[in-house]
């Protein structure tokens, strides 16, 4: 490999000759060979959009030369389009605050802008990563901002639509199953009757609730500390820079970002990130519960509950021929576990902030976006390849309703709890239906019993 030599405060650095990144990125690559994982494209692309907004603001304020500014803006557009994705090589687990990623952006944008101005990569007297691309900025304010931007975008373009699709599919099943009477279950034991539609309406309602909470929580991400620079004081920024930068950012994204009411609080704390992490945990916990129920209700096919028949998406065993597993629900469970773990990592990192800055922002950003993305993809696949194709095992459902001893609950107002309990116990021990035992014990006339124990009446 051929190299070019760059210099920084620590001395000479050998950088691959064809790389658009520079010395700080190269040092980060050498220092942090940790996971092989990189911050997500949504973070990198949004960072480029942010850099463009900052350049436009600096130009409006008369601080950035138009010729350099126009080249930087074009380079930012190319980066945000994904043209230089292979140049973002810093590990997700890196030095604190996200300085390495910020400089990776600054260097790639600077070197591309230099090319656009007919220079060669590394000729930083033309466009400098710090002096020009990072003008009026610090990692400390911009990395906070881009975390909000990427998380907000991924929530609104990915997770919210995926949850809306799932809610719609569950609601559709609720209507489809509105007349199918089944045995409800509490404590994993038989309970009073309900309809399968009512059960699915509970799932749809739960998704609707967490969806509402997610939308509400995501609004907190619209408050950003752009222009706070190092600590929140706005050192090295021109007059009205924050105002201009946020206006440009909103023009670029179509969102409605605003300056945080207290920039110091925003930069010292991760309250907004904690709030969205909490909403993501709600989503993961709720989807996990639904996946658990689907697995239980489809267990069998001969020795389980077997009320639901799931779409067969793949063979289930490498040794047992013909076995089909609830693969999509199992996938969703695992995704939910991981997303919850991501959010717990966010909480731990947020709690570890010190004084004017939380240096663990790269971990927070990576885990937030990762959790949002995997839940989006998993929910969409679960909807398409599981929920939409569910069928019912009507014979099993009917058999359970007939032999359900908890229907004796409806007798309590007529014969009292103790007598009803005695009947239920006798039905269980003798493997009879409740109505059979009632007729044998002559507790009420047959017509009255049929009316009281009619499962349609009980739901």
Sign of CA dihedral 231, 233, 234, 240: positive
Q: What's the distance, Cα to Cα, between the start and end of the chain in Å? A: 74
The 8-class DSSP code of residue 83 comes to T
Instruction: Tell me whether residue 174 is one of the annotated catalytic residues.
Output: no
Distance (Å, rounded) from C-alpha 248 to C-alpha 50?
Answer: 9
Distance (Å, rounded) from C-alpha 316 to C-alpha 326?
Answer: 8
Contact 35, 92 (CB under 8 A): yes
Q: Phi and psi dihedrals of 125, rounded to 5?
A: -70, -20
Token pair belonging to 205: 């309602």
Q: Could you tell me which of 171, 162, 409, 152 has the C-alpha nearest to residue 273? A: 152
Token pair belonging to 425: 């116990």
CA distance readout (Å), 117 to 78, 113, 123: 15, 6, 11
Distance (Å, rounded) from C-alpha 198 to C-alpha 294?
Answer: 14
Partners of 6 in beta bridges: 13
Q: How many Cα atoms sit within 13 Å of 413 on the Cβ side?
A: 7
Distance (Å, rounded) from C-alpha 19 to C-alpha 13?
Answer: 13
Q: Which of 81, 178, 251, 317 is catalytic?
A: 317
Please enumerate, as own/partner, the contacts of 429-434 that have beta carbons within 8 Å and a separation of 24 or more: 431/403, 433/402, 433/403, 434/404, 434/405, 434/407, 434/408
Q: Which helix (H) or strand (E) holds 3?
A: strand 3-8
Token pair belonging to 88: 């973002």
Distance (Å, rounded) from C-alpha 377 to C-alpha 383?
Answer: 10
Distance (Å, rounded) from C-alpha 163 to C-alpha 96?
Answer: 34
Distance (Å, rounded) from C-alpha 200 to C-alpha 390?
Answer: 12
CA distance readout (Å), 449 to 358, 402, 412, 453, 458: 68, 14, 12, 6, 12
Distance (Å, rounded) from C-alpha 209 to C-alpha 438?
Answer: 43
Q: Phi and psi dihedrals of 129, rounded to 5?
A: -55, -45
Token pair belonging to 323: 């076995």
Active site residues: 317
């Amino acid at each position: 490999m051929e190299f070019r030599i760059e210099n920084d405060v620590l001395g000479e650095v050998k950088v691959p000759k064809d790389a658009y990144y520079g010395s700080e990125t190269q040092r980060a690559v050498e220092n942090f060979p940790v996971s092989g994982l990189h911050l997500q494209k949504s973070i990198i692309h949004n960072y480029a959009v942010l850099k463009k907004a900052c350049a436009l603001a600096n130009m409006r304020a008369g601080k950035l030369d138009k010729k350099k500014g126009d080249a930087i803006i074009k380079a930012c557009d190319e980066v945000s389009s994904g043209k230089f994705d292979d140049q973002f090589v810093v590990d997700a687990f890196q030095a604190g605050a996200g300085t390495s990623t910020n400089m990776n952006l600054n260097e790639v944008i600077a070197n591309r802008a230099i090319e656009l101005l007919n220079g060669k990569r590394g000729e930083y007297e033309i466009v400098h990563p710090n002096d020009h691309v990072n003008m009026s900025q610090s990692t400390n304010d911009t990395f906070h901002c881009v975390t909000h931007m990427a998380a907000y975008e991924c929530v609104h373009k990915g997770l919210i639509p995926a949850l809306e699709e799932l809610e719609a599919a569950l609601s559709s099943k609720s209507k489809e199953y509105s007349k199918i009477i089944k045995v409800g279950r509490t404590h994993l034991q038989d309970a009073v009757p309900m309809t399968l539609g009512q059960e699915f309406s509970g799932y749809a309602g739960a998704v609707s609730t967490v969806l509402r909470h997610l939308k509400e929580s995501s609004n907190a991400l619209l408050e950003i500390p752009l222009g706070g620079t190092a600590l929140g004081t706005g050192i090295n920024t021109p007059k009205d820079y924050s105002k201009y930068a946020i206006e440009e950012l909103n023009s670029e994204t179509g969102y409605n970002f605003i300056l945080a009411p207290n920039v110091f609080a925003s930069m010292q704390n991760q309250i907004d990130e904690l709030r969205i992490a909490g909403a993501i945990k709600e989503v993961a916990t709720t989807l996990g519960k639904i996946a658990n129920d689907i697995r239980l209700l489809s267990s069998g096919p001969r020795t389980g509950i077997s009320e639901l028949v799931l779409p067969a998406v793949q063979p289930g065993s490498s040794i047992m021929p013909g076995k089909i597993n609830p693969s999509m629900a199992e996938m969703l469970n695992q995704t939910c576990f991981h997303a919850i773990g991501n959010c717990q990592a966010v909480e731990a990192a947020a709690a570890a902030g010190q004084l004017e800055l939380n240096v663990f922002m790269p971990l927070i950003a990576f885990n937030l976006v990762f959790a949002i993305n995997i839940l989006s993809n998993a929910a969409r696949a679960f909807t398409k390849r599981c929920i939409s194709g569910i069928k019912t095992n009507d014979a099993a459902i009917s058999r359970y309703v007939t032999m359900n001893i908890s229907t004796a609950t409806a007798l309590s107002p007529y014969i009292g709890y103790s007598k009803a309990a005695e009947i239920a116990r006798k039905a269980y021990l003798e493997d009879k239906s409740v109505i059979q035992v009632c007729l044998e014990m002559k507790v009420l006339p047959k017509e009255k019993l049929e009316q009281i124990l009619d499962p349609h009446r009980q739901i």
